[in-house]
Amino acid sequence: MQVIGVIGAGLMGNGIAHVAALAGYDVILSDVALDRAQAAVRTIEKNLGRGVSKGIVAADAVTPALARITVTTDSAAFAAADLVIEAATESEPIKLKIFAGLVPHLKADALLATNTSSISITRLAAATDRPERFTGLHFFNPVPLMTLVEIIPGLATSDATKAAMHAFATKIGKTAIEAADAPAFIVNRILCPMLNEAIFALGEGVGSVLDIDAGLKLGANHPMGPLTLADFVGLDTLLSIMRVMQDATGDPKYRPAPLLVKYVEAGWFGKKSGRGFYDYSGETPTPTR
């Protein structure tokens, strides 16, 4: 593989493009609007510069990495791609629409992957012309800093495709774990119910935002509190994952916390929208409840 396509230039997509370009791959980055893709490249440039200042990116690697990224809004541009990673919003209808428009342009041996954090890989793969060449490739935010990637084979995924994904993860400096195609896979299957339970606790007045976060940081030795982490994940994304888990299993233990639903209805998605369980408009985040 030499040419990597990334669909979606948001938080996850620009992070995937960042690590792929830095590892020496040629990257085609697309979004529905060209200005969004161009803004993503500026974000990558800023983040590479931050990496240089921290000593984790070589200064002479920045310009070549940026030169390896091209932006587009046209699915036909992926005709040269060896692997295309879909990193659009966590919505199955949107992902299916993307794949429907993409696969006619792909070469026969191109691999497909989705960065979904919860949706069935087998079901998404079945909607394409190459289920044996399709996998889940779930990165974690922020992609340049988080070392983990989950590889999730679907029912039809070939051994050769799995091996190619493991090799890709290694080349971009990630540690891969392999998860079964079960609702929310490994990390989110365990993590998201914990975040959801913290929101239940907040809504029921068990503790304040600050006390709940401090309790888990100090009592469980977590690097950040669950409400801070929920803001970082994105409350809309967390809600989507909980709903996928509840729908797929029928288990009421995955019921989204009512307060989580209300925050998403208000457009308070967390850090990316500037407001969630904390308000990020000032120099220091302040609790919103």
- Looking at beta carbons, which pairs linking 188-195 to residues 24 or more positions away fall under 8 Å? 188/117, 188/118, 188/241, 189/245, 192/238, 192/241, 192/242, 192/245, 193/242, 193/245, 193/253, 193/254, 194/226, 195/226, 195/227, 195/229, 195/230, 195/233, 195/238
Q: Which domain CATH number covers 271?
A: 1.10.1040.10
101, 242: one domain:
no
Residue 169, pLDDT > 90, answer yes
Of 117, 120, 196, 240, the active-site residue reads 117
Residue that finishes a domain, picked among 130, 160, 178: 178
CATH number of the domain enclosing 118: 3.40.50.720
pLDDT at 180: 96
Q: What is the pLDDT of residues 36-63, one digit of tens each?
A: 999 999 999 999 999 999 999 999 999 9
Q: Residue 254: is its pLDDT beyond 90?
A: yes
Angle at 193 (CA atoms; ends 187, 197), nearest 5 degrees: 145
Asked if residue 155 and residue 113 are part of one domain, the reply reads yes
Could you tell me the sign of the dihedral formed by the alpha carbons of 252, 186, 56, 1, in that order? negative
Whether the predicted pLDDT of 118 surpasses 90: no
Cα 181-245-240 angle, rounded to 5 deg: 110
Task: Enter the pTM of the model.
Answer: 0.89
Name the residue range of residue 87's domain.
3-178
Tell me what the mean pLDDT of segment 278-286 comes to: 96
Residue 228 has a pLDDT of: 97
For 193-245, what is each residue's pLDDT tens digit?
999 999 999 999 999 999 999 999 999 999 999 999 999 999 999 999 999 89
Q: What is the mean pLDDT of residues 138-167?
A: 97
Among 143, 178, 213, identify where a domain stops. Answer: 178
**What are the Cα distances from residue 87, in Å, to 35, 261, 270?**
17, 23, 19
pLDDT for residue 141 = 87
Q: What's the chain's average pLDDT? A: 96
Last-in-domain residue among 123, 151, 178: 178
Rounded to an integer, the average pLDDT of 22-34 is: 97
State how many domains the chain has.
2
Q: 138 catalytic, yes or no?
A: yes
Residues 150, 28 within the same domain: yes
pLDDT at 188: 93
Above 90 in pLDDT, residue 134? yes
Q: Mean of the pLDDT values across residues 264-275? A: 96
Report pLDDT for 117.
87
Residue 224 and residue 169 share a domain: no
Q: Which of 90, 138, 196, 240 is catalytic?
A: 138
- Which entry of 47, 150, 196, 240 is annotated as an active-site residue? 150
User: Does residue 74 share a domain with residue 44?
Assistant: yes
Q: Are residues 97 and 129 in the same domain?
A: yes
Q: Same domain, yes or no, for 102 and 229?
A: no
Quick one: tokens of 29?
A: 């980055």
- Tens of pLDDT, residues 94-109: 999 999 999 999 999 9
Is 90 a residue whose pLDDT tops 90? no
Shared-domain flag, residues 23 and 96: yes
Looking at 14, 30, 47, 188, which residue is catalytic? 188
The pLDDT, as a whole number, for residue 16 is 98
pLDDT above 90 as % of the chain:
95
